[in-house]
Amino acid sequence: MLEDKDQSRTSLGELGEFGLIEHLTKNFAVRQDTTVLGVGDDAAILEFSKDQVVISTDLLVEGVHFDLSYVPLKHLGYKAVMVNLSDIYAMNAIASQVTVSIAVSNRFPLEALEDLYEGINAACKNYKVDLVGGDTTSSNVGLVISITAIGHAAKEDIVHRSGAKENDLLVVSGDLGAAYMGLQVLEREKAVFKANPNNQPDLEQYSYIVERQLKPEARKDVVELLKALEVVPTAMIDISDGLSSEVLHICKNSKVGCHVYEDKIPLDPQVINVCEEFTIDSTTIALSGGEDYELLFSITQKDYPKIKGNPNFTVIGHILPEGDGKHLITRANTTIPLISRGWNALEGS
């Protein structure tokens, strides 16, 4: 995991806006052939030849999307990039550039923003994307981060949410629910610390789920693996708001129904253990937790042999005619409607 260093304090006013941007972006290298001109001019110049360009933007607001009492700024910078790259990979495209804009209050010294951008730079290095622009401005409400991710793919490779067909299989990458349970552990330890500041949290036994919350990884490897397996999904979406919400998005856009099987949903043992500790149903967490940034996709049945037995993938259900509805088949073999109870930033839950 990333670590923050001890901070002295340098006022942002000492640099000014342009000096701040130059200082924060000086260590970012250009890695993509599609980047003709990156940071340093009025605008970036990109060239994508015959590929289609895919663009996604996310906004992260302090107090709504993150809590700096337990989120290190380096992790926040890294995660902010991952959130956006995940949307590009969910289109079966390759991410190539990002822009980063921040609004920041004067309670943040220069050193804090250096940590934030160190995390952003680590993400750019690991995923071979270029920082090609952005902006900084002042804020009266804490830290606000806006990142735009740019990617590209051949037209025939791009996957939408709207292509799932009857009899297709529903597949997920990785495992689900860990990020949400990591958040529950962090919130609990925050409450304990506030009650007794001398009580330092011991998170070692929760290392997997805490890292899934603080430093998620976008599934670029899944896009590359599917290409190597010669599998083009019929529909795909990233799991940011909980599995049930994303399944329903695919069904709505594709005008189909589905069955999802409870006993097929992949759960890490640590998630199951911590759900028991918190007396929370693990299936509910997988369906509604969110922030896993795994990929949910549908494939034709003829492609099933290509992914069968692959440890990266789990078949969790199948697509039905729209009139059959959207249901969860429980372990007791009962049928219950799938309901979206995932994260809604406008409701705060």
Same domain, 213 and 319: yes
Q: What is the pLDDT of residue 270?
A: 97
pLDDT at residue 349, rounded to an integer: 42
Q: Please report whether residue 346 resides in a domain.
A: no
For the chain, the domain total comes to 2
- Which comes out higher in pLDDT, residue 39 or 226? 226
| pLDDT score of 33 | 81
Token pair 């189909």 is found at: 256
Higher pLDDT, 303 or 199: 303
* Cα separation of the two ends of the chain: 28
What pLDDT is stored for residue 140 in this prediction? 87
More confidently predicted of 98 and 8: 98
pLDDT reading at 326 higher than 50: yes
Is there a single domain that holds both residue 106 and residue 211? no
Do 39 and 63 belong together in one domain? yes
Helix (H) or strand (E) holding 118: helix 110-127
Clarify whether residues 173 and 305 are in a common domain: yes
Residue type, 343: W
Q: Would 1 be classed as within a structural domain?
A: no
Q: What is the mean pLDDT of residues 186-203?
A: 85
Which of 103, 132, 157 corresponds to the end of one domain?
Answer: 157
Q: By residue range, what is the domain housing residue 283?
A: 169-337
CA dihedral sign, ordered 262, 268, 269, 275:
negative
Is the per-residue pLDDT at 63 higher than 50? Answer: yes
Alpha-carbon span 61 to 144, nearest angstrom: 5
Mean per-residue pLDDT over the chain, rounded: 90
- 342 pLDDT band, cuts 50/70/90, is low
Kind and range of the H or E element at 195? helix 178-195
Write out the two tokens for 139. Answer: 């804020």
288 — alpha (psi -120 to 50), left (phi > 0) or beta?
Answer: alpha
Q: How far apart, in whole angstroms, are the C-alpha atoms of residue 233 and residue 160?
A: 9
19 in the same domain as 65: yes
Domain presence at residue 208: yes
The C-alpha atoms of residue 20 and residue 37 are separated, in whole angstroms, by 20
- Let me know if residue 106 belongs to a domain: yes
Find the mean pLDDT for residues 227-247. Answer: 96
Do 153 and 233 fall into the same domain? no
In 196-314, which ranges are continuous DSSP H helix? 207-214, 220-228, 243-254, 269-277, 282-288, 304-307
Residue 14: the pLDDT is 59
Structural domain contains residue 207? yes
Looking at the fold, whether 91 and 173 belong to one and the same domain comes out as: no
**Average pLDDT for residues 338-346, to the nearest whole number?**
65
Alpha-carbon distances of 121 from 29, 176, 210, 244, 290, rounded to whole Å: 9, 27, 21, 33, 25
Q: Does residue 342 lie in a domain region?
A: no
Judgement on whether residues 185 and 126 belong to the same structural domain of the protein? no
d(CA 305, CA 84): 31
pLDDT over 60 (residue 346)? no
Residues 236 and 323 in one domain: yes
Q: What percent of the chain has pLDDT over 90?
A: 74
CB contact at 8 A, 336 and 284: no
Of 157, 185, 216, the position where a domain reaches its end is: 157
93 and 139 fall within a common domain: yes
For 267-324, write each residue's pLDDT tens digit: 999 999 999 999 999 999 999 999 999 999 999 999 999 999 999 999 999 999 999 9
Q: Is the dihedral of CA 237, 241, 243, 246 positive or negative?
A: negative
* CATH number of the CATH domain containing 221: 3.90.650.10
Give residue 310's pLDDT.
96
Using pLDDT thresholds of 50, 70 and 90, give the confidence band for residue 13.
low
Please compute Rg for the chain using Cα positions. Answer: 21
Lowest mean pLDDT among 75-89, 97-111, 320-334: 97-111
Does residue 126 share a domain with residue 97? yes
98 shares a domain with 64: yes
Q: Is the pLDDT of residue 343 over 60?
A: no
Q: What is the pLDDT of residue 12?
A: 60
Query: Per the domain annotation, does 345 fall within a domain?
Result: no
Question: Is residue 347 domain-resident?
Answer: no
At residue 153, does pLDDT exceed 50? yes
Where is mean pLDDT largest: 109-113, 332-336, 338-342? 332-336
The angle, 0 to 180 degrees and rounded to 10, between the axes of the packed helices 110-127 and 73-89 is 30
Query: What's the pLDDT score for residue 3?
Result: 47
Last residue of a domain, one of 157, 188, 218: 157
Q: What is the mean pLDDT of residues 41-63?
A: 90
